[in-house]
Amino acid sequence: MPLDKSVLERTFPDFEFRVERGKIREYALVLGLTDPVHTDVEAARAAGFDDLLAPPTFVRQFWHENTENDPMPHLGYDPKRRLHGEQEFEYHKPLVAGMNLKGQNAIVSTREKEGRRGGMMTFVVIETRFLDETGELVQVARRTLIETAAPPKEA
Amino acid sequence: MTIATKYAKWEELAEGAERELTVGPITRTDLVRYAGASGDFNPNHHDEIYAIRAGFDKPFAHGMLQGGYLARLLSEWLGPDSFKNLKIRFSAQAWPGDMVICKARVVRQYEEAEQPMVEIEASAENQRGDVLIKATATAAPRS
């Protein structure tokens, strides 16, 4: 299924959420992060943070708060041929528990190319900007989503 | 700000300095826990029948699980708030039972606006030496 080009005309509503201590701890523990700045409030404060510090890839959980503000389900991709090709993060200020963040999603680039075994591959880059309550940029996440030409049998 | 001493010191981050972290073997429970922690419920990562119908042998790890392990290595090495950017490219799937061997190396040590900075190249491989992900990062080390 080719890219549904109408998605490029769409805008996606901002979404807001509170960064919770429990989710930060859970994310850190799954990855085995032993640094107490992610799990112990006192240790986080002793290290100079206002509260528990989110691990570097934590914002992954906010990419699709719901289907209205996430471009991904509107790309027209076959979910069985959808791959996460690249992921980029930009860090502007510490992301800590208790922050109320606003997320803004946009499609920032698209391209197509011939697959190695024929058929077209599609590449879409979705950018999510995370702002704090004062409107300052906290982090930017950019994910490259690929629709492969055929079901990926091997990597 | 209190500077923790457990992170690498500037003189330990010369060009060519390396650090490794081995995680695993990955279990299906790890995949389910990562799904819950990240909110990524793509069935390819937990639903055997769905994954097989999509052309895979079985469920496989979220790319961001390996990405998270690699970020953990960098975070525990350079400091948890040291990152300026991190770019991860996914090359191959990690399967339950696989080890994830993360390696990182300083490729450049420099100053930017009087701020000591390092540029890192990193990768994660499985126990067969297949590259799972490659990554680059720039960071302002904590100590």
Q: How many domains does chain A have?
A: 1
Say whether A80 sits in a helix, a strand or coil.
helix
Predicted local confidence at residue A76, as pLDDT:
83
| Nearest chain B Cα distance for residue A108, angstroms | 16
Task: Please answer yes or no on whether B69 and A31 come within 8 Å at the CB atom.
Answer: yes
Nearest one of B115, B104, B113 to B137, comparing CA atoms: B104
Q: Alpha-carbon distance A130 to A120, whole Å?
A: 32
For residue B101, being part of any structural domain is answered with: yes
Rounded CA gap, B86 and B1, in Å?
A: 24
Predicted pLDDT at B26: 97
- Structural domain of residue B117, as residue ranges? 10-27+61-139
Is pLDDT of A152 > 70?
A: no
Chain A within 8 Å of B52 (Cβ-Cβ)? no
Quote the pLDDT of residue B142. Answer: 79
Whether B79 maps to a domain, the answer reads yes
Residues of chain B under the 50 pLDDT cut: 1-4
Rg (CA), chain B: 17
Question: What pLDDT, on the 0 to 100 scale, is given for residue B133?
Answer: 97
Domain presence at residue A68: yes
Query: For position B4, what pLDDT does the model report?
Result: 47
State the count of interchain CB pairs (< 8 A) between A and B: 111
Is B21 contained in some domain?
yes
Q: So what's the pLDDT on residue B2? A: 43
Q: Answer yes or no: is A53 within a domain.
A: no
Mean pLDDT for A68-87 is 83
Residue A39 has pLDDT above 90, yes or no: yes
> Is residue B66 in some structural domain?
yes
Please report the pLDDT score of residue A60 as a whole number.
79
CA-CA distance, A45 to A98, in Å (whole number)? 13
Residue B37 has its nearest CB partner, among A30, A46, A151, at A30
Who among B4, B71, B93 is closest to A57 (CB)?
Answer: B71
For the record, the structure tokens of A135 come out as 């409107």
pLDDT exceeds cutoff 80 at A64 = no
What is the distance, to the nearest Å, from the Cα of residue B90 to the centroid of all Cα atoms in its chain?
A: 11
> In chain B, how many domains are there?
1
Angstrom distance (rounded) from CA B31 to CA B35: 6
- For residues A49-72, give the mean pLDDT: 83
Across A64-68, A70-74, B84-88, B112-116, which has the greatest mean pLDDT?
B84-88
Check if B93 contacts A (Cβ < 8 Å).
yes
Record: contact A33-B1, CB cut-off 8 A: no
Mean pLDDT score across all residues of chain A: 88
Q: Tell me, what amino acid is at A43?
A: A
Domain contains B69: yes
Structural domain includes residue B81? yes
pLDDT score for A155 = 45
How many CB atoms lie under 10 A from the CB of residue A152? 16
CB distance A87–B87 less than 8 Å?
A: yes
B65-93 pLDDT per residue, tens: 999 999 999 999 999 999 999 999 999 99
The answer to the question of residue A155 being in a domain is no
The CATH number for A103's domain is: 3.10.129.10
Q: Following DSSP, what letter does each residue of B13-78 receive, concatenated?
A: --TT-EEEEEE----HHHHHHHHHHHT---GGGT-HHHHHHTT-SS----HHHHHHHHHHHHHHHH
* A15-24 per-position pLDDT tens digit: 999 999 999 9
Nearest-CB residue to B72 (from A32, A46, A81): A32
**Most distant CA atoms of chain B, gap in Å:** 55
The range of the structural domain enclosing residue A141 comes to 5-19+64-147
The verdict on residue A85 lying in a domain is: yes
